[in-house]
Structure 1
Amino acid sequence: MSVYIRSITLTKLLAILVVAILCLSAMIFVAYSIHNSFTTVSADVTMGRFNLGGKKKDEIMHYLESISSEFSFEAQDAYIDSETKSLIPHLNGCQLDIDATAEKIVGAKKGESVDPVIHTILPLVTIKDFSHVPIYQGNPIRKQASLVINISWGNEFNDYLQEMLDILKDQGVKGNFFLVGKWAEKYPNLVKQIHQEGHILANHGYSDPYMSKISIEEISIEINKTNDLIKEATGYTPIYFSPPYGEKDTRIFEQSTKDSMVNVLWSLDTIDWQRPGIDAMADRILNNMHNGAIILMHNTEQTPAALKKIIIGIKEKGYEIVDLDTMLSPDYYLQNIKQKISIEDIPN
């Protein structure tokens, strides 16, 4: 009898043990499934053009760690170039946040597009610390060029301006138009057209004076009156200023800075106002191209044909033609870093 009882008890214990093992296994499976659901990327989650669906968090972490040094850039202070005396614009640094990016990817819903988490590192010195010095070019790290077109002549010269606008449109290029206020006042429809076609409107004073010969108060009036006219025509208030005749009087730059303007001159000049000839103008630019070039021109009869040759030549040399907003943006690294994130070498 006692043997029978012991047998029954042992059988029950074994049964309980089996049930316990099964329950534990089920719990482990559920826990693993829950853990896996939080550490495996949902289907069709993308970052840029890459599909990350099905990747494990540790794979994502390993990959992001392997490329982090390629996407970390120190901030660059603005400085005055010792040779050109130009103010070289600052650049923000940036750093990929590996943990936050991985969490964002793993936590994304099916089919969601994810941007990497990148922190901006600010420089200690910016262009605002140099109110008396103009910008002649963009930061030399940029293989870019920007076209500055000063507009002060009307009547038949507006026909040349229209030709230039047509060429810019055909070539897919945006320019920067520095307008004299009196011209803008007389031709508001052209001001609107320039703006509507996506170009930057900028300030070239109101009455085309030699600003070195007028008072600080008059300089401020010249700047603000032109800004008001452009805003009235387009709703846009210019932020870039270039004094007539390229004068370099520090009084002008200090006052324009007080009037919330960024002072811009140029590093390459077509000298089209001298009518040197189309080929001579194009050669003058293309033979001296450099990173961050700011190229000056006007609306003369020779400029449209030269403009086309210059644009084609710049592109053939591998430069990107951008507007001043892009050229002078401190977020050069940030704009490029997102395009470089790749998932190609994560194992399947």
Structure 2
Amino acid sequence: MKKAMIIVLFFLAVWIFVNTPIVNNYVTGLKENALPAVKESNSLMESIKKNASTYEKPPSDAKIDRVWKAIPGYSGVKVDISASYKNMKKLGVFDEKKLVFTQIKPKIHLNDLPASPIYRGHPDKPMVSFIINVAWGNEYLSDMLATLKKHNVSASFFLEGNWVKKNPELAKMIVSAGHEVGNHSYSHPDMAKLTAAQAREQMVKTNEIIEAATEVKCNLFAPPSGSYRDETVKVAKELNMKTVMWTVDTVDWKKPTPEVLINRVMGKIDNGSMVLMHPTESTAASLDRLITLIKQKKLKIGTVSNLLNEERIMK
């Protein structure tokens, strides 16, 4: 009985203490301070959700275009609501620079398409590529490589097998400089006039020589002079190579002045363009200015493989 009375008196004392004006004011203050924080938090989350759709883009599937043939897909982008909230929580205000995005892959990929040549990257991708076909022009390669290095640009060099056989050190130099290499046939024939067996022989022989010299396995094929037929493209696909053409031609083999070459390219270049060139005096003299002007158009310059991949470039 005495123990029970002590417990009752203890709880009565606690109740009286909790209900004193000092404690009541303290608790009320805590509630009042917490409410704005909760409201602010909810407001930020709602603001992120409300604005998310403004920044989101749907993915684009790879497709066969009537004019441009095979066009790669391009990933969509979606706002990560939770990660974006965490990024902005400290200041408690919406800031588009602190949005966090996740990329959404297309459902149809370039490899899902039937054998078809590729003339360009996706038209929404702010990137271009230099396709440099090499079967001659050794005297201009060093200058071109130096210019590419100066601007931190990686290009795609398509090497003729017979050229690599004679110039393995130059082929190694191209690869060691961080550039991509592809197959440009063995002896520069008109691929459209070759049988499937002859086309295969040209590609396989070149792949073997390039791999022996550089330890690189080619996954891209550029037919000499852009000449091919359906069988050519199918053979390349069977050898796990994409057939690459071009969007913009420098026509550098005609020895244009740098001004003519640059104007020719800059008048046509756009998202996804692939620019055809060779190691020539015209290109070597134009390359520095050309790269500068392309970058001024807010276009990245990357390898063909980077251009064709689906990753979205976030501005």
Normalising by structure 2, what TM-score?
Answer: 0.79
1:274 aligns with 2:238: no
Q: 2:176 aligns with which of 166, 178, 196?
A: 196
| 1:103-146 residue CA offsets vs partner (Å, 9 max, x unmatched) | 9999xxxxxxxx958363432x3323443321111111122221
The residue number in structure 1 matching 2:104 is: 120
**Contact 2:77 2:101 (C-alpha < 8 Å) held by counterparts:** no
The residue number in structure 1 matching 2:76 is: 93
1:79 aligns with 2:63: yes
Determine the C-alpha separation between the residues in 1 that align with 2:6 and 2:43: 47
Determine the C-alpha separation between the residues in 1 that align with 2:138 and 2:102: 46
* Paired residue type of 1:77: D
The residue number in structure 1 matching 2:31 is: none
1:179 aligns with 2:159: yes
**Contact 1:131 1:253 (C-alpha < 8 Å) held by counterparts:** no
Determine the C-alpha separation between the residues in 2 that align with 1:174 and 1:302: 20
**Contact 1:95 1:121 (C-alpha < 8 Å) held by counterparts:** no
Aligned residues: 291
| 1:77-106 residue CA offsets vs partner (Å, 9 max, x unmatched) | 223344x33322112334345458879999
The residue number in structure 2 matching 1:145 is: 128
The residue number in structure 2 matching 1:261 is: 241
The residue number in structure 1 matching 2:220 is: 240
1:168 aligns with 2:151: no
Q: 1:140 to 1:11 in 2, by over 3 A?
A: same
For structure 1, which segment, 142-151 or 71-80, has the greater mean C-alpha deviation from structure 2 after superposition?
Answer: 71-80
1:14 aligns with 2:44: no
- Matched residues, percent identical? 31
CA RMSD of aligned residues (A): 3.6
**Contact 2:72 2:310 (C-alpha < 8 Å) held by counterparts:** yes
1:330 aligns with 2:310: yes
1:296, distance to aligned residue in structure 2 (A): 0.4
The residue number in structure 2 matching 1:68 is: 52
Q: 1:180 to 1:101 in 2, by over 3 A?
A: same
Match of 1:193, SS state, is: helix
**Contact 1:253 1:263 (C-alpha < 8 Å) held by counterparts:** yes
Match of 1:302, SS state, is: helix
Normalising by structure 1, what TM-score?
Answer: 0.72
**Contact 1:278 1:306 (C-alpha < 8 Å) held by counterparts:** yes
Determine the C-alpha separation between the residues in 1 that align with 2:308 and 2:258: 29
* Paired residue type of 2:267: N
Determine the C-alpha separation between the residues in 1 that align with 2:16 and 2:246: 79
Q: 2:265 aligns with which of 267, 285, 304?
A: 285
For structure 1, which segment, 223-232 or 87-96, has the greater mean C-alpha deviation from structure 2 after superposition?
Answer: 87-96
Determine the C-alpha separation between the residues in 2 that align with 1:309 and 1:19: 83
1:325, distance to aligned residue in structure 2 (A): 2.3
Determine the C-alpha separation between the residues in 2 that align with 1:183 and 1:22: 95
1:305 aligns with 2:289: no
The residue number in structure 2 matching 1:46 is: none
Match of 1:201, SS state, is: strand
| 1:289-314 residue CA offsets vs partner (Å, 9 max, x unmatched) | 22211100111222201222221221
Determine the C-alpha separation between the residues in 1 that align with 2:16 and 2:8: 12
**Contact 1:206 1:225 (C-alpha < 8 Å) held by counterparts:** yes
Determine the C-alpha separation between the residues in 2 that align with 1:60 and 1:206: 62
1:265, distance to aligned residue in structure 2 (A): 0.6
**Contact 1:74 1:94 (C-alpha < 8 Å) held by counterparts:** yes
1:188, distance to aligned residue in structure 2 (A): 1.3
**Contact 1:212 1:249 (C-alpha < 8 Å) held by counterparts:** yes
